[in-house]
Structure 1
Amino acid sequence: MDHGAHPVPAGTAWRVRAPLADAVWLCLFDAQGAETRHAMVRAGDDWTLTLAGNHAGTRYGYRADGEWAPERGLWFDPAKLLVDPHAVELDQRFVYDPALSALGIDTAALVPKAIVPGDLPTVPPAPPLFAPGGLVYELNVRAFTMLHPEVPQHLRGTVAALAHPAVLAHLAKLGVNAVELTPIVAWIDERHLPPLGLRNAWGYNPVAFMALDPGLCPGGIAELRDTVATLRAAGIGTILDLVFNHTGESDVAGPIVSLRGLDNAAYGHAADGSLINDTGCGNTLDFAKPHVRQLTIDTLRHFVAHAGVDGFRFDLAPVMARGPGFAADAPIFAEIAADPLLADRVLIAEPWDIGPGGYQLGQFPANWLEWNDRFRDDVRRFWRGDGTLGQLATRLAGSADVFGPCDSSPCRSVNFLAAHDGFTLADCVAFAHKHNEANGENNRDGHDENYSWNNGAEGPSDDPAVLARRQAAQRALLGTLFASTGTIMLTAGDEFGRSQQGNNNAYSQDNLLSWIDWQARDRDLEDFVARLSAARTGDLARFPENGQWLALDGAAMDAARWDDPATPGVQWRAPDQARPGFRVSRNDGVALD
């Protein structure tokens, strides 16, 4: 029997993993919140129970008893109501409370309850719409829709808003091939945020991997399924950004809301018993353990089978291949490839974490795409004035120094200029330094080096010369992105100059700072991006080996010209008319032939 809650011929069955527990109870809650406990039966490392009757729609949780010895990784406290790690729906959002960490304090009133599912409809398998070389549009559902003037108020901030005709029209104008949704599964705030009056706006702090956040997706899996279908009908795929590297239970002072109270061994531990923190978030899931990998596979299968998504982006993906060092042949890769539902899905790695040997760009399997931060940094440096043409050309041609030649096989690079974390594109050319004071950490958070420049004034300016330089810089950066070989990613709002006022780590800004102001958008820049996208034709996943790199005067490029900072630009001539060539000049920007 699968883990979680499921209808069976005899009624409804539950199964949960808690190998070191002495006792586990299934806790059912009625409409008034009254709790009924049922002792579960051990079955190896799992605990099971079957109750007669159809319990679809019933709210439930678990309690587990056993030894309390945090120094040895044992956190059993029967006062803690625990969310099923395989829950597929919750009745409310997580809200952080200090009592969630305190021994002996009952948390039934504080913790969301899982909801027993009925028979979940499945989506007939269909190949992903998205293919390498396309345009991925990264968006945060809430930030993208909260201020959209054409989206009805009741839909704003929800997944359903993405199916609105005005949103579809905007995506079509830009030529988007797939939307990449930053996390939409249930998460909890980091404990330092509520005292500051802040909340997590990004969702990279999950608790329940399969359960959609009730605030973002109040209609549950059906809402996501319908939205994915509407996007697909418009020719747009859906990619989910998922976080399997850690959970929101954080460090030893974090909340006990799910895995920690059931199976704390799912987290990696050092020899002294302390939690490994290769994520910077307090804990790290241990993918050397088969049951951690199975939870991951179950989650991926759930969103393909019941929502029909094209694929997934994996946050801090090296964690999935650690044991403790990174292994390119890690079991999880083979298990995904062998799964009939997952083998053809789009798989995108964020190829770094903060653990030892955590930077693994170019090291993922051949069927995976990878975020390429070297593209971002080298392109920014070139247009800032301290990068070389040689570096730029390498990035434009698919980063063969990282991924190998991509003349015969698709390039695995995901080229981007900005993402959800870091400066927006407009801020990249308006701020030389980060300005994260609103985050309440005295500007200590966020990266210090952004390869940004302010074009003559730090932050907002009404100087026409400064504004003109910023406009030109944005166009040069965008032109470079759209001329490049590989998959390209545009972050929502960068097509029309969205600013976060220099905040390069707006994870805690669920407010006007991060919400896209559709009324203030630069429509000329938006139209420029649409034209760039329309000009991006042919097989952009491959870089023909018989194209020509030439100087602006038509002469052949040699090593001296490539490395000379005074070389004003370069042009590339395509071998045929199937795709455009381009010219790059520091004085004139980027032109597509």
Structure 2
Amino acid sequence: MIMALQVPDRLLPGKPYPLGAQWDGLGVNFAVFSANASRIDLCLFSANGRKELARMPLPECTDEIWHGYLPNAALGTLYGFRAFGPYDPARGHRFNPHKLLLDPYARQLSGPVRWSDALFGYRLQSARADLTPDRRDSAPTMPKAVVVDESFHWGDDRPPGVPWQDTVIYEAHLRGVSMLRDDVLPHQRGTFAALCDPRFLDHLLRMGITTVELLPIHAILQDRFLLERGLRNYWGYNTLSYFAPEPSYLATDQLHELKVAVRRLHAAGIEVILDVVYNHTCEGNELGPTVSWRGLDNASYYQLVPGDERHYLNDTGCGNMLNLPHPRVLQMVLDSLRYWVQCFHVDGFRFDLGATLGRDQNGFDPGASFFDAILQDPVLSRVKLISEPWDLGPGGYQLGNHPPGFAEWNDKFRDTVRRFWRGDAGQRGELAARLSGSADLFDRRHRRPWASVNFITAHDGFTLADLVSYNGKHNEDNGEENRDGTDNNYSANWSPDGSVEGPTDDPAILALRARAAQAMLATLLLAQGTPMLTAGDEWGRSQHGNNNAYCQDTALSWLDWKQAQTPRGQVLLQMVRRLLALRLRLPSLGANRFSHGNQEPAPGIGDIAWFDTEGQPPSPEAWADPEIRTLALRRAAAPPRSERLELAHRATRDGHPGPVNVTLLLLNAGDTDVVFRLPEPALPWQLVLDSSQPQAEAGRPSNAVTEQAVPAHSLVLLAAQAAPQRFDHPAEPARAAPQEAVS
């Protein structure tokens, strides 16, 4: 450890690349970017981080990279930086050498930040606000960066490489997954060690999950105002370091714990996607603390208001925006992303407030430097990339406008499905578009249906159980008098007069809530696009009406696995397994190309077609009728390529492939049962799912079925096989939903 090191009087010149602290067996090279600093000191600390052992200037600056080499430095060395330069907020400069700064490339942190007024670069009580520098040393309250060995024996680990069209995402919080697991050792709960517990992996595999998407695992700065209320930043969208994992998520304080977790998930065939926050940092606006980037080079790392560099652009709503158009800032983001792929073998990223990342000087641009840099990168362009396509800035809603290669969270799918099943008027045409992969949004530039990440719930908002149990939010526990969180939930408590919020013993209300939840869950998993399931929805987890549980690091947010064993939990869990099995088995449910009704995989059967309850294509007037709450969707698809090869020996004499899969989805969001007449041609239909009775066994195929009853607030899925087209010639277009109905 560094405490045994004979620290030299000065550093050797070292090298400007790579950035961060790199151990070579003989010593450590340190390199950090700052365009505007006049000097940067390296500070070395004792093993417990409490005593500063040495402070030495980095001796060289090459192309705005300050660097130096410390001979004989060992793994485990604790360090930080101090930056010298002007303290001139009006010009965007906030240098203050009294503040210890984290290396932006730190691979591991020695612990959390301990809040103190000394963390601020200015005097908090000054009448001049942030214009008077503070001279207190912040080192006692700051974590230190740790020099680490990044080697790990990965064996034959390989990315599962799940095709996008087969991907099913499970959004989960690393800590919340295991905090209430009685069968996990107490010190491992809430850590990476519990993420790869065999029982959790078995749960994912039995459901049919292919990909786990983890809420932020980067090191977090806990908000001071939350700690003062006895709360914590649970979600973690307050990044303290882009290279270091959150220290509290490591049971052993060893980075290999995360690598072991990824290794075991991969061995089970499950991908790992990280939710990442490169749009802003934890330092907030001009009144925030100085912990890293602000102190190293505020004017370079952040986007400042033109002509008023004291203040920050804030399209994120979080106080600041990283200056991604700056090449060194963009380099930091790309280096971070590559680090997580190459060092930890993660399989992709979900970008928080992705519209911010695509902002150049003229606003959002799908050809922004961030997108271009990723899509040409030989490492990053090969992993899964998902954007949250909005922020709070001008023109901040960019759903469907990201470049090919990116998938996008589709909140229009979420809102439409919620509103349709709640019984809102005028939702039928919109639902038609969402069920068919939102082609109106994504069918351009050769994008595929998987680009639409469909979801009904996410970490931000109601759980599925609360969506059908509450008319409004109940966020009193957050300490903001229920002012926080959205009011646009499109939820219902399903009581006759709307007066029964939350838990009830009324069997009629419970039955209605169950039907609504099951219908929405089925809609999600049977729609074209990439489905995302929120952890705990598979058994009906509740947050007691809290739709903004970002600060609830409590049992309110954690997964209660005992609920999965209740009768209600088992019904939902078995339903999810059944739906995902159907999605995998029936090609028409997971088609990898958009359907427009202009292809006929089987005679008289288009690739997609819409029908009314009489088995006829709806007229334009019917599509425009806001009071119709029924819809039938027929889809047809030939077997996938691999299955076609297996069926080759069974092809007919003239070489045609095996049977075409046809599904018919019948939806009834009304208050009364409805009988659908099935469309021509007649097929040997089999009832494979009724969302009102998800445990009922599938029926037998029958050529005699011409009608199908669909209970209120439910959907029914029928499946059949049809003979394929016998000749290759242009098919007569089938009648699909008019453009105005689905756009």
SS at match of 2:334: helix
Query: Corresponding residue for 2:58?
Result: 40
CA distance in 2 between counterparts of 1:407 and 1:525 reads 36
Query: Corresponding residue for 1:519?
Result: 562
Does structure 1 residue 270 correspond to structure 2 residue 311? Answer: no
Q: How does 1:13-28 map to 2 (within 5 A)?
A: 13-28=29-44
Instruction: Write the letter of the residue equivalent to 2:406.
Output: W
Listed one character per residue, the Cα deviations across residues 22-43 of structure 1 (whole Å, up to 9, x for unaligned) are 2211111122532111111233
Cα distance 1:295–1:278, how it changes in 2: closer, same or farther (>3 A)?
same
Instruction: Write the letter of the residue equivalent to 1:209.
Output: Y
Contact 2:352–2:388 at 8 Å: present in 1 too? Answer: yes
Query: Corresponding residue for 2:198?
Result: 165
SS at match of 2:305: coil
Deviates more, 1:454-463 or 1:163-172: 454-463
Contact 2:157–2:266 at 8 Å: present in 1 too? Answer: no
Query: Corresponding residue for 1:261?
Result: 295
Contact 1:348–1:370 at 8 Å: present in 2 too? Answer: yes
Q: CA deviation at 1:95?
A: 3.8
CA distance in 1 between counterparts of 2:115 and 2:714 reads 48
Instruction: Write the letter of the residue equivalent to 2:340.
Output: F
Cα distance 1:459–1:77, how it changes in 2: closer, same or farther (>3 A)?
same
Deviates more, 1:150-159 or 1:199-208: 150-159
With normalisation by structure 1, the TM-score equals: 0.96
CA distance in 2 between counterparts of 1:285 and 1:408 reads 29
Contact 2:302–2:323 at 8 Å: present in 1 too? Answer: yes
CA distance in 2 between counterparts of 1:405 and 1:81 reads 49
Does structure 1 residue 77 correspond to structure 2 residue 96? Answer: yes
Does structure 1 residue 421 correspond to structure 2 residue 437? Answer: no
- 1:120 corresponds, among 140, 144, 151, to 151
Deviates more, 1:565-574 or 1:263-272: 565-574
CA distance in 1 between counterparts of 2:235 and 2:264 reads 24
Instruction: Write the letter of the residue equivalent to 2:51.
Output: A
SS at match of 1:37: strand
Does structure 1 residue 482 correspond to structure 2 residue 525? Answer: yes
- 1:200 corresponds, among 233, 250, 265, to 233
CA distance in 1 between counterparts of 2:371 and 2:206 reads 36
CA distance in 2 between counterparts of 1:96 and 1:121 reads 34
Q: How does 1:349-364 map to 2 (within 5 A)?
A: 349-364=387-402
Q: CA deviation at 1:185?
A: 0.7
Q: CA deviation at 1:208?
A: 0.4
Contact 2:20–2:31 at 8 Å: present in 1 too? Answer: yes
Q: CA deviation at 1:563?
A: 2.7
RMSD, aligned α-carbons? 1.9
Contact 1:122–1:307 at 8 Å: present in 2 too? Answer: no
Does structure 1 residue 290 correspond to structure 2 residue 327? Answer: yes
Q: CA deviation at 1:565?
A: 3.6
Does structure 1 residue 312 correspond to structure 2 residue 326? Answer: no
Unpaired segments of 5 or more residues in structure 1?
none
Cα distance 1:9–1:190, how it changes in 2: closer, same or farther (>3 A)?
closer
Deviates more, 1:496-505 or 1:7-16: 7-16
Instruction: Write the letter of the residue equivalent to 1:334.
Output: D
Query: Corresponding residue for 2:608?
Result: 547
CA distance in 2 between counterparts of 1:122 and 1:346 reads 24
Cα distance 1:562–1:405, how it changes in 2: closer, same or farther (>3 A)?
farther
Q: CA deviation at 1:256?
A: 0.6
Q: CA deviation at 1:150?
A: 2.5
Query: Corresponding residue for 1:571?
Result: 632
CA distance in 2 between counterparts of 1:431 and 1:157 reads 29
Unpaired segments of 5 or more residues in structure 2?
1-16, 124-133, 597-606, 638-659, 670-711, 719-743
CA distance in 2 between counterparts of 1:7 and 1:581 reads 61
CA distance in 2 between counterparts of 1:579 and 1:224 reads 43
CA distance in 1 between counterparts of 2:36 and 2:445 reads 50
Query: Corresponding residue for 1:452?
Result: 491
Instruction: Write the letter of the residue equivalent to 1:110.
Output: T
Cα distance 1:157–1:329, how it changes in 2: closer, same or farther (>3 A)?
same
Contact 2:159–2:271 at 8 Å: present in 1 too? Answer: no
Contact 1:128–1:344 at 8 Å: present in 2 too? Answer: no
Instruction: Write the letter of the residue equivalent to 1:34.
Output: K
- 1:131 corresponds, among 163, 175, 186, to 163
Instruction: Write the letter of the residue equivalent to 1:367.
Output: G
Q: CA deviation at 1:423?
A: 0.9
CA distance in 1 between counterparts of 2:516 and 2:37 reads 59
- 2:318 corresponds, among 269, 275, 281, to 281
SS at match of 1:263: helix
Cα distance 1:295–1:396, how it changes in 2: closer, same or farther (>3 A)?
same
Q: How does 1:46-57 map to 2 (within 5 A)?
A: 46-57=65-76
Cα distance 1:136–1:579, how it changes in 2: closer, same or farther (>3 A)?
farther
Instruction: Write the letter of the residue equivalent to 1:279.
Output: T
Q: CA deviation at 1:544?
A: 3.5
Cα distance 1:437–1:338, how it changes in 2: closer, same or farther (>3 A)?
same
Instruction: Write the letter of the residue equivalent to 2:295.
Output: G
Listed one character per residue, the Cα deviations across residues 237-292 of structure 1 (whole Å, up to 9, x for unaligned) are 00000000000001111111000110112111012111111111111111111111
CA distance in 1 between counterparts of 2:622 and 2:96 reads 68
Structure number with greater CO (CA < 8 Å, separation at least 6) is 1
Does structure 1 residue 230 correspond to structure 2 residue 281? Answer: no
Q: Of the two, which has the highest radius of gyration?
A: 2
Instruction: Write the letter of the residue equivalent to 1:592.
Output: L
Query: Corresponding residue for 1:3?
Result: 19
The share of aligned pairs that are identical, in percent, is 45
Q: CA deviation at 1:412?
A: 0.9
Query: Corresponding residue for 2:274?
Result: 240
Cα distance 1:516–1:40, how it changes in 2: closer, same or farther (>3 A)?
same
Q: Count matched residues.
A: 593
Q: CA deviation at 1:170?
A: 0.9
SS at match of 1:411: helix
Query: Corresponding residue for 2:723?
Result: none
Deviates more, 1:163-172 or 1:456-465: 456-465
Query: Corresponding residue for 2:481?
Result: 442
- 2:118 corresponds, among 93, 99, 121, to 99
Deviates more, 1:451-460 or 1:537-546: 537-546
Contact 2:668–2:715 at 8 Å: present in 1 too? Answer: yes
Contact 1:129–1:236 at 8 Å: present in 2 too? Answer: no
Does structure 1 residue 109 correspond to structure 2 residue 125? Answer: no
CA distance in 2 between counterparts of 1:119 and 1:487 reads 34
With normalisation by structure 2, the TM-score equals: 0.77
CA distance in 2 between counterparts of 1:566 and 1:318 reads 36
Cα distance 1:579–1:285, how it changes in 2: closer, same or farther (>3 A)?
farther
Listed one character per residue, the Cα deviations across residues 459-510 of structure 1 (whole Å, up to 9, x for unaligned) are 2222111111111110010010011101010010111111111111110010
Contact 2:45–2:51 at 8 Å: present in 1 too? Answer: yes
Instruction: Write the letter of the residue equivalent to 1:61.
Output: G
Query: Corresponding residue for 1:585?
Result: 668
Query: Corresponding residue for 1:89?
Result: 108
CA distance in 2 between counterparts of 1:260 and 1:128 reads 39
CA distance in 1 between counterparts of 2:465 and 2:272 reads 26
Contact 1:376–1:417 at 8 Å: present in 2 too? Answer: yes
CA distance in 1 between counterparts of 2:44 and 2:413 reads 52
Instruction: Write the letter of the residue equivalent to 1:164.
Output: D
Query: Corresponding residue for 2:219?
Result: 186
Instruction: Write the letter of the residue equivalent to 2:528.
Output: T
Instruction: Write the letter of the residue equivalent to 2:273.
Output: I
Q: CA deviation at 1:365?
A: 0.9
Does structure 1 residue 534 correspond to structure 2 residue 595? Answer: no
Contact 1:62–1:81 at 8 Å: present in 2 too? Answer: yes
CA distance in 2 between counterparts of 1:136 and 1:534 reads 15
